[in-house]
Amino acid sequence: MEQIIENFSTILDDAAKVANPVIQISNTSKITLNQAYEIQALSIQRRLARGENLTGLKMGFTSKAKMEQMGVHDMIWGRLTNNMHFENEGDIPMNKFIHPRAEPEIAFLLKKDITSNITINEVESYIDGLAPAIEIIDSRYKNFKFSLEDVIADNCSSSGYVLGKWYSPDTDVSNIEITIGTNGEVKAIGNSKAILDNPFQSLVEAVRLALKYGQELKKGMVILAGAATSAIPVNDGDTVQATFGNLGSLSFQAK
């Protein structure tokens, strides 16, 4: 089995590297959730060996809108690297992706290392700030189709993120209207409440899952809380913009 896990980590890493889709693991092999996380860890190790740095973690399927869109039933988490980070209002080259989609998120910046579980009331004391964000997801599987194990092995479709302006840790993000759209047209609307009733809870869950799987949580890491709306397709030439009520907006240009 170790060899199979190693092989899938290579296949998925290569698929991301050259932006070429592959068939789902579950079409040919049965793997467990733990094995899926092992594949993810190994594929990220390959990125780190090429010189990328781990910059944070992302939560997935923390809202009903996302679970329903993708037909899955549980939360997942993945890893972010510096290669996935793009500037707000900047250009993002589309040739890096297979079939990219964008979704609005809330990001947290860790103020210190976290080594044990935290409660929602403690979140404020563990972050330096929070920001509106856009995540770009790009499944390495054909037709953006996968099982829960498939998507975990594929680093939860992580492929890009853009961060907006940072706000202080005591900013209330429990009830913010969020939109995302392209070229001036709103394509999806949601509310931050949809993220586990409060995006702060998503950080609590991120800590729990990272510790469970032996992933360190370090000062300076960015944690994405998961999308509040379904993801929208991104096409070459699109200007993608997300709005977050009082927190303002952010955007990128798909080039």
Identify which of residues 122 and 193 has a Cβ nearer to ligand OOG in the complex: 193
Residue 228 β-bridge partners: none
Among 16, 70, 84, 227, binds Mg ion (CB under 5 A): 227
Cβ 52 to Mg ion shortest distance, Å? 19
Contact of residue 151 among Mg ion, ligand OOG, none (CB under 5-8 Å per partner type): ligand OOG
Please state, in angstroms and rounded to a whole number, the distance separating the CA atoms of residues 166 and 163: 8
Cβ 58 to Mg ion shortest distance, Å? 6
Pair of tokens at residue 39: 């594949």
- Give CA separation, 120 vs 78, 91, 117, 161, 192, in Å: 21, 36, 10, 24, 15
| Span from 19-27, 150-158, 162-170, 236-244 in contact with ligand OOG (CB under 6 A) | 150-158
- Altogether, the residues listed in the chain come to a count of 255
Pair of tokens at residue 20: 């070429």
Please state, in angstroms and rounded to a whole number, the distance separating the CA atoms of residues 105 and 97: 20
Identify which of residues 5 and 206 has a Cβ nearer to Mg ion in the complex: 206
Cβ 233 to ligand OOG shortest distance, Å? 12
User: Is there binding between residue 204 and Mg ion (CB under 5 A)?
Assistant: no
User: Is there binding between residue 151 and ligand OOG (CB under 6 A)?
Assistant: yes
Pair of tokens at residue 85: 């980070």
Q: Which residue is nearest to ligand OOG (CB)?
A: 60
The alpha-helical segments, DSSP class H, found in the chain are 2-18, 33-49, 64-70, 123-126, 148-153, 199-212
Strand, helix or coil at 28?
Answer: coil
Among 24, 147, 157, 251, binds ligand OOG (CB under 6 A): 157
- Burial profile 23-32: b = 16 or more Cβ within 10 angstroms, e = fewer: ebbbeeeebe
Identify which of residues 80 and 227 has a Cβ nearer to Mg ion in the complex: 227
Among 135, 138, 150, 154, binds Mg ion (CB under 5 A): 135
Task: Report the site for ligand OOG in 64-123 (rule: CB under 6 A).
Answer: 66, 70, 103
Residues near ligand OOG (CB under 6 A)? 58, 60-61, 66, 70, 103, 135, 137, 139, 151, 156-157, 226-227
